[in-house]
Chains A and B, each alone.
Chain A
Amino acid sequence: MITLHWVYALMGAVFAGYALLGTADRSNPRRFTTAAFWALLALSMWAGDRIGDIGNGVLVLGLVAIAGFRGMGRGSGGVSLAQRQARADRHGNGLFAIALVIPVTALAGTFLFKAFPAWIDPKQTTLISLALGVLIALAIGCTWLRARPIVALQQGRQLMDSVGWVAILPQMLASLGAVFALAGVGDVVGGIVRLAIPDGSLLGAVIAYGVGMALFTIVMGNAFAAFPVMTAAIGIPLLIHQYHGDPAIICAIGMLAGFCGTLLTPMAANFNLLPAALLELKDEYGVIRRQIGTALPLLCVNILLIYWLAFR
């Protein structure tokens, strides 16, 4: 059966390729440490399940040591603008068609693969079809553009080098979330929020729930971590039991109040910092800055929606 491990094997091969190509890039002043970083990630993808929890912890220490002590660099080079313009004119809109192969395959795979649960892990169809879409797009692209596959890998490596250590930030923050959970951070924050609610005020309790969801999501980077804490601290005892609110409305919209917090926090790295790196923005918080103006009014809307709809 095709599982996520096939995708990890592919990822490991890609990272190993980056490491190998990287050692030959003389324009990168830190080519060996940069290559070592991608090699460690290749190891994580290939052997992560075999080296044990402490082994993985040590692997993380290695990654952080390389990145934290400025071991990551990037080379120069690339194709000139005039050349790209000429190629764009020659290849036309077919370039978009190849780019669209990935989302289309992901779409088709998500539906089709569910019909073959014996062959393809039904829980992971999207990621598997994403990887498949990449392979199909590469095959079509290399054939049609008459490029050798190594060109794609080389270009991918240059993009990856420009992303740098930010690549593992989402994984690191997810791991920090696990330690926070183990340490019971949620209980502490939930308790503090409870202390802040004025007695006998329904609106006060609703605001505390909505703002608490957003704030705790900002801290944890994930509304999923905030939801059980805030709901246990405020949602269930106050809004549902004391004020007899509709649990479906309170919880569904409360979760969305948390999502407003996700738009505001660097802790949600895969949504907010990853695209800044991927788009090569100078300001790593550039995406968050564009989201503030939507997130804050929407948080107010969510709080008012709970207040108006849940207590009729």
Chain B
Amino acid sequence: MRTDGPVRRCDGATTDLISTAYGQRPALPLTRCDDGQEHDRLMWVLLGIALIVAGFLLRFNPLLVILASAIVTGLAAGLDPLTILSAFGKAFNDSRYVSVVWVVLPVIGLLETHGLQERARGLIDRMRGATTGRFLTFYLLARQISAAMGLISVAGHAQTVRPLVAPIAEAAAEKQAGALDEEQRDEIKAWAAATDNVGVFFGEDIFLAIGSILLIKGLLEQYGILLEPLQLSVWAIPTAIAALLIHGFRLWRLDRRLNAQGAKAHLPETAEDAA
């Protein structure tokens, strides 16, 4: 910990959260000022990142790691502890909307205790030709298209993946491969969540009014480059197609693996029956 008191930031110290977050200072940071203290500060600031990486890798409780990193980073930047605490508290309060997704848990709990996941199994059993890969590819495409229309929060991990997509994918995998052990069950659930992420990430930027498109437009304006959102969002289409192809291919290979496992599991069984 530093003992020589807080170091003021050499660019004037009145750091405004938003302007720093969105980089409104076109900065050439390593050359901005070159006294020893600045160099010191840089090293400490990076220590905060190193702490996070090490903490996640060594699997310490992430909440403690985050707090420690915030303290180290803040002190390195010459902020006093109370400023760090209030900056952290303010940001925590401002980002409460992130936690609104948990509001769906009572509905999921109610439906699951009345047999939602078991019902998903029944549904898949009656659908011929339904496989994990095909179902998830269909979901991927549907998610990309709806996100491209701006419908981001219509689906999601709490809204659709846990109650619908994961149980259906799991049921389909069981139909293909026979009984799954817990690890495989987890893998299929993780595929469902991953597919949701890929779908929304590489669909949403096709929509004009999404935050990232507006951020690009706003940033470029500061450099005197004026663009319409549409000029930006059309260039999200090639990547969206590539994402569909790459992830779809991987889901097709997942299907082949599950089918092979099913075929293998099936053979000894019939041989046993014959004996």
Chain A residues with a Cβ under 8 A of chain B: 4, 7-8, 10-11, 14, 41, 44-45, 48-49, 52-61, 63-64, 67-68, 78-79, 81, 84-93, 95-96, 98-100, 102-103, 106-107, 110, 126-127, 130-131, 134, 137-138, 141-142, 145, 147, 151-160, 163, 165, 167-192, 194-195, 219, 223-225, 227-229, 231-233, 236, 240, 247-249, 251-253, 255-256, 259, 262-263, 266-267, 269-272, 274-276, 278-279, 281-283, 286-287, 289-291, 293-294, 297-298, 301-302, 305, 309
Q: In angstroms, how far is the closest chain A Cβ from the Cβ of B238?
A: 6
* A176: contacting residue among B66, B89, B160, B182, CB under 8 A: B66
**Does B91 belong to the interface (CB within 8 Å)?**
yes
Residues from chain A with Cβ under 8 Å of B117 in the complex: 84
Chain B residues with a Cβ under 8 A of chain A: 9, 15, 17, 20-24, 26-30, 32, 42, 45-46, 48-49, 52-53, 56, 61-64, 66-67, 69-70, 73-74, 76-77, 79, 82, 84-93, 95-119, 122-123, 150-155, 157-164, 166, 182-183, 186-187, 189-194, 196-198, 201-202, 205, 211-213, 215-216, 219-220, 223, 225, 227, 231-233, 235-236, 238-239, 242-243, 246-247, 250
Chain B residue, CB-CB nearest to A221: B52
Residues from chain B with Cβ under 8 Å of A11 in the complex: 96, 99-100, 102-103
Q: Known contacts A287-B190, A301-B242; can you find 7 more A-B pairs with CB under 8 A?
A: A44-B96, A85-B115, A155-B112, A247-B225, A249-B235, A251-B219, A255-B216
Count chain B CB atoms within 10 A of each CB in A4, A60, A67, A252 and give the residue with the most: A252
Whether A134 lies near B104 (C-beta < 8 A) is: yes
Whether B48 lies near A64 (C-beta < 8 A) is: no
What are 22 residue pairs bridging A and B, where the CB atoms are less than 8 Å apart in the complex?
A7-B103, A53-B89, A57-B85, A78-B113, A84-B114, A91-B115, A99-B107, A134-B107, A156-B105, A157-B109, A158-B109, A169-B62, A180-B48, A180-B73, A183-B76, A184-B45, A194-B30, A228-B21, A252-B205, A255-B216, A275-B197, A305-B242
Whether A286 lies near B89 (C-beta < 8 A) is: no
Q: In angstroms, how far is the closest chain B Cβ from the Cβ of A79?
A: 5
Complex: A298 Cα to B250 Cα, angstroms = 12
A103-B155 contact in complex given A158-B109, A159-B108, A181-B21, C-beta closer than 8 Å: yes
Residues from chain A with Cβ under 8 Å of B166 in the complex: 279
* A99: contacting residue among B29, B105, B106, B111, CB under 8 A: B111
Whether B9 lies near A286 (C-beta < 8 A) is: no
Chain A residue, CB-CB nearest to B64: A68
A181-B108 contact in complex given A10-B103, A232-B23, A252-B216, C-beta closer than 8 Å: no
* B110: contacting residue among A92, A155, A272, CB under 8 A: A155
Whether A305 lies near B239 (C-beta < 8 A) is: yes
Residues from chain A with Cβ under 8 Å of B63 in the complex: 63-64, 67-68, 165, 168-169, 172
A-B contacts counted at CB < 8 A amount to: 446
Residues from chain B with Cβ under 8 Å of A78 in the complex: 113
Whether B21 lies near A188 (C-beta < 8 A) is: no
A91-B119 contact in complex given A232-B23, A290-B190, A294-B247, C-beta closer than 8 Å: yes
Whether B20 lies near A186 (C-beta < 8 A) is: yes
Whether A279 lies near B162 (C-beta < 8 A) is: yes
* B88: contacting residue among A60, A88, A96, A281, CB under 8 A: A60
Chain B residue, CB-CB nearest to A107: B154
Complex: A207 Cα to B269 Cα, angstroms = 53
Whether A188 lies near B46 (C-beta < 8 A) is: yes
Residues from chain B with Cβ under 8 Å of A89 in the complex: 115, 122
Whether A153 lies near B106 (C-beta < 8 A) is: yes
Chain A facing B: main interface SS:
helix
Whether A167 lies near B86 (C-beta < 8 A) is: no
Residues from chain B with Cβ under 8 Å of A232 in the complex: 23, 26-27
A279-B93 contact in complex given A67-B61, A224-B215, C-beta closer than 8 Å: no
* A147: contacting residue among B24, B79, B114, B194, CB under 8 A: B114
Residues from chain B with Cβ under 8 Å of A278 in the complex: 157-158, 161-162
A227-B159 contact in complex given A151-B110, A256-B236, C-beta closer than 8 Å: no
A147-B110 contact in complex given A55-B89, A176-B66, C-beta closer than 8 Å: yes
Q: In angstroms, how far is the closest chain B Cβ from the Cβ of A186?
A: 7
Whether B151 lies near A107 (C-beta < 8 A) is: yes
Whether B70 lies near A283 (C-beta < 8 A) is: no
Q: In angstroms, how far is the closest chain A Cβ from the Cβ of B264?
A: 23
Chain A residue, CB-CB nearest to B73: A183
Q: In angstroms, how far is the closest chain B Cβ from the Cβ of A95?
A: 5
Q: In angstroms, how far is the closest chain A Cβ from the Cβ of B275?
A: 32
Count chain A CB atoms within 10 A of each CB in B24, B90, B231 and give the residue with the most: B90
